[in-house]
Amino acid sequence: MSSCFLLLDETYEPLIRRALRPIHFLDDAILQLQNNLKHHKGCTKPIFEGNGWHYAVITRDNLYFAMIMQVNNSVSPISVLHYLDEIYQLCRKFMGMKLNKLNVRDNFHLIFEVIEESSDYGIIQVTNYNIIHDFIKVEVIKPDDDSENTASEKHELPPGDQDETFINSYILRTMTSAVSWRPKGIHYGKNEFFLDVIEKLEFIMDFEEGVVRNNVINGTIICRSYLSGMPQLSIGLNKLMQKNVHFMKRLKFHECVDLHTLIKEESPVIKFIPPDGEFELCNYKLNRPLLDEPVIKLQSFGLSQKPRKNQETQDKLLLKAAITTHFKAQDSAKELLIKIPIKSVIRKWNIDLEKPPLFKSDIGDVVFDITAGSIIWKINNLKGGHGNKNYGLKCMFEIWDRQIHEALEVQLRNSMDPPPLRTGPKLERIWDQYHGKTTEYDGNENQKEDVDKFALIAMSFEIPYYAVSGLKVEYFKIEEPQLNYQSFPWVRYKTVNDNEYIYQVSI
């Protein structure tokens, strides 16, 4: 059993302190937690022990959610970590905004109510927002007085149902019923159900070696239910995925799904009574075949030096890149961003930023993000295909030449004319401000260690109406025998990049 809940700010000072059970020497236990966080600069272990106490800590929105537990209790520390994350999610949903020191202090009464309703004497009870939001009637204080009604105001109970005994008994009946995730008496004027298949691609490739390090699909099926009564839903997937044993074994379902029926039937149909509101029906993780091309493929990348045309000009460095697509031609990738880091390129090749670089692309726009030291290639709409068309990018930089610059300085000193007026931003000064003054790289051993030999080209994108795994909902039925109403099911698909969709290239 947990003994004390703490919410600390970025300086490790307690904002919320709630004792869940009688506890001795609580101040000493809190002081030890603060000292541990200060010693590790906030990067402490999520679970650690000290002086007869167990501590569980997570970091969210630069705040520290912590729980103090007795060493000799039987509670699982992993379940406590999960409970802390659920507390954070509940606070976010009730407040409708990110948490910070100010709104936590303004809404401390709401956080106390969330802790009271979600646990009893340190034992976790219910953390389902769809159930608990009807019984917390605390008004949320937001910085903007003209903001919309809070979640607690939207779901406020009628005046006749404000009795605390009634509320507690209603929660008990809901949690102990066979369908503990959905309370009775739900009614909507228009009955709708939205199902979103979202697949995130995690892809890492060594471009020079042609070796794919990671190629994984992380899929989730997110649902939003606005149905009256106690509806029973049936969802059938396409036969291609049903026959895929690898896929079926990796499905992790919400507790509402009837697993017995799913396993027993020859043609699996997902049957369930949905919770009210938004929930995750299932998630899965699939390894893509090695021969499958990435949906956005880096076709080529290279750096080449272009010799000067005469003695008065400098050599030029040409950066070339090309991409192609490998998904259905009728679909399009939206908001494609390709980030090419060039900090090492500028240092290694002694790029002269007094001369602005030149960019050219077959599609989209190119931006030189000098503060991040990278080139951003933005494509708002990229048509699908199967590698039959390449889209190129060219960037040209001038390589700094000592002799030319010294000759120019001598010429300016001996000339009676004023120096030519420069227009536009002085890129070399902005670069020095953010990345330090660039020293000339001459290839010696002392400088080799400081120059990166590889760069990670990162991509972010979104492909609506497309599931890269081939998953498709072919059967969708909503039944409510008692009310027998008309319902409107909606299904959408989307493929996006995960946290890592990168190519490693040599520079």
Mean pLDDT of 20-25: 82
**Residue 158 pLDDT class (50, 70, 90 cuts):** very low
DSSP string covering 196-238:
EEEEEEEEEEETTTTEEEEEEEEEEEEEEEE--SS-EEEEEE-
Q: Is the pLDDT at 164 greater than 70, yes or no?
A: no
DSSP string covering 63-110:
EEEEEEEETTS---HHHHHHHHHHHHHHHHHHHTS---HHHHHHTHHH
Q: Is the pLDDT at 66 greater than 90, yes or no?
A: yes
pLDDT tens digits for 432-452?
Answer: 888 887 655 555 545 544 557
Pairing label, strands 487-506, 191-206:
parallel
pLDDT tens digits for 463-498?
Answer: 999 999 999 999 899 999 899 999 999 999 999 998
* Token code pair at residue 8: 């600390």
Q: Structural domains in the chain?
A: 2-176 (3.30.450.60), 191-291+468-498 (2.60.40.1170), 296-416+423-462 (2.60.40.1170)
Round the average pLDDT of the chain to a whole number and report it. 85
Q: Is the pLDDT at 71 greater than 90, yes or no?
A: no
Computed from CA positions of residues 492, 493, 499, 501, in that sequence, does the dihedral angle turn out positive or negative? negative
* Token code pair at residue 49: 């022990």
Residue 491 to residues 197, 223, 250, 270, Cα–Cα distance (Å): 8, 9, 22, 15
Q: Is the pLDDT at 73 greater than 80, yes or no?
A: no
Q: Is the pLDDT at 161 greater than 50, yes or no?
A: no
Mean pLDDT of 403-415: 80
Identify the CA nearest to 344 among candidates 459, 430, 458, 448: 448
Enter the pTM of the model: 0.73
Half-sphere exposure of 203 (CA within 13 A, CB side): 26
For 360-369, 450-459, 478-487, which range has the lowest pLDDT when averaged over its residues? 450-459
Task: Report the pLDDT value the prediction gives residue 420, as an integer from 0 to 100.
Answer: 72
Mean pLDDT of 293-315: 89
C-alpha 307/C-alpha 314 separation (Å) is 8
Task: Report the pLDDT value the prediction gives residue 198, as an integer from 0 to 100.
Answer: 96
- Angle between the N-to-C axes of helices 108-118 and 77-95, in degrees from 0 to 180, rounded to the nearest 10: 130
| Total residue count of the chain as it appears in this document | 507
**Residue 501 pLDDT class (50, 70, 90 cuts):** very high
In the chain, % of residues over pLDDT 70: 87
pLDDT tens digits for 378-404?
Answer: 999 999 999 899 999 999 999 988 888
